Structure 1
Amino acid sequence: MHTTNRFQRLWRHATASHKKWQQQFPKSLLTRIETLIAASEPKHLGQIRVVIENNMPLSDVWANVSPRERAWQCFGELGVWDTEYNTGVLLYIGWSDRALEIVADRGIARQVDEQVWQKICQQLSQAFVAQQFETGTETALQQLTDVLQAHIPRDGSHIADNELSDEVVVR
């Protein structure tokens, strides 16, 4: 939920507690996410990254950077665009904005309608509202795997390279 009131949003980001989201995403869940990514990638030519950002830099909030724009910034900073087949996908969780974004590189984005990514985000949002963080995240990762496997499956001619880290980026 991206608030248009800049001062409310700035306050929310400035006072965001790491403790709250860490209760919902304990180390065990972060490890589980990394394991799911590692198990997913040999099935397709995509590379998945997950970013959980408690609060954006205050300068970005003041500049009214949207969660979508911030997701694109993370996509670039983490080099998700820099894969052999241009099939990197980023799942961005903006905790303070209560925002979920999926950014896909051009090799997969031209094959998958934006509504598919939005539907995954909507379902994940519903799970988060219901306090089902683990189940929701696992389901979203399975949905990402299914989409990537359907559109860019790995066949015997492709080496199973892990081009990007599977580690969840926590900010």
Structure 2
Amino acid sequence: MPEVTEFLTPAEEEAVIAAIQQAEKNTSGEIRVHIENHAEKPPLERAQEVFLALGMHATTARNGVLFYVGVTDKSFAIVGDEGIDKVVESDFWDCTKDAAINHFKQGRFADGLVAGILRAGERLKQYFPYANDDKNELPDTISKG
């Protein structure tokens, strides 16, 4: 498994960021991606820590989504804020995660992130449609730890 610096090529990083921007055009939801090599904690617990560390809980509608990847651990988690969890169906996160994992299993990590991000954006659009006064509350860049 590659290190975090080798996980996505610069072109793949650009594709992931473009997917975030495309997804956010249709929703007030905020999507971020965090990639790190290793964590001592289980992926979901670590993703929740990163979510807070990135200030993703501070969005107005509490509708942030974090895609977390542990490269050397081969771990992946998606965490959403409480505003999302209050309104989405129970399989929302599993369906979104499955869209990404199907690509991951074939070693196509950027494609998996793009698929998951676009799916999350489509689903968030139903509950948090974009409004003319929406502001991009979080950066669209990929954070690395």
| TM-score after normalising by structure 2 | 0.90
Give the whole-Å Cα distance in 2 for the aligned partners of 1:137 and 1:119: 13
Residue correspondence of structure 1 range 18-167 to structure 2 within 5 A:
18=3, 22-56=5-39, 61=40, 65-155=41-131, 158-167=132-141
Q: Which 5+ residue runs of structure 1 have no aligned equivalent?
A: 1-15
Q: Which 5+ residue runs of structure 2 have no aligned equivalent?
A: none
Deviations 1:141-170 (A, max 9, x none): 110111111111123xx4131100100012
| TM-score after normalising by structure 1 | 0.77
Shift of 1:22: 4.4
**Runs of 4+ more than 6 Å apart:** none
Give the whole-Å Cα distance in 2 for the aligned partners of 1:169 and 1:126: 23
Letter in 1 for 2:74: R
Report the more deviating stretch, 101-110 or 128-137: 128-137
TM-aligned CA distance change 1:140 to 1:83, over 3 Å = same
Shift of 1:123: 3.0
Deviations 1:15-59 (A, max 9, x none): x752xx544411111122112212221311101111111222xxx
Letter in 2 for 1:126: N
Give the whole-Å Cα distance in 2 for the aligned partners of 1:71 and 1:148: 19
Greater relative contact order structure (CA < 8 Å, 6+ sep): 2
Check whether the contact 2:20–2:118 (CA below 8 A) recurs between aligned residues. Answer: no
Check whether the contact 2:44–2:77 (CA below 8 A) recurs between aligned residues. Answer: yes
Check whether the contact 1:47–1:89 (CA below 8 A) recurs between aligned residues. Answer: yes
Question: How large is the RMSD of aligned CA atoms in angstroms?
Answer: 1.8
Identity %: 27
> Quick check: which has more Rg, 1 or 2?
1
Q: How many residue pairs were aligned?
A: 145
Give the whole-Å Cα distance in 2 for the aligned partners of 1:28 and 1:49: 17
TM-aligned CA distance change 1:133 to 1:17, over 3 Å = closer
Check whether the contact 1:44–1:152 (CA below 8 A) recurs between aligned residues. Answer: yes
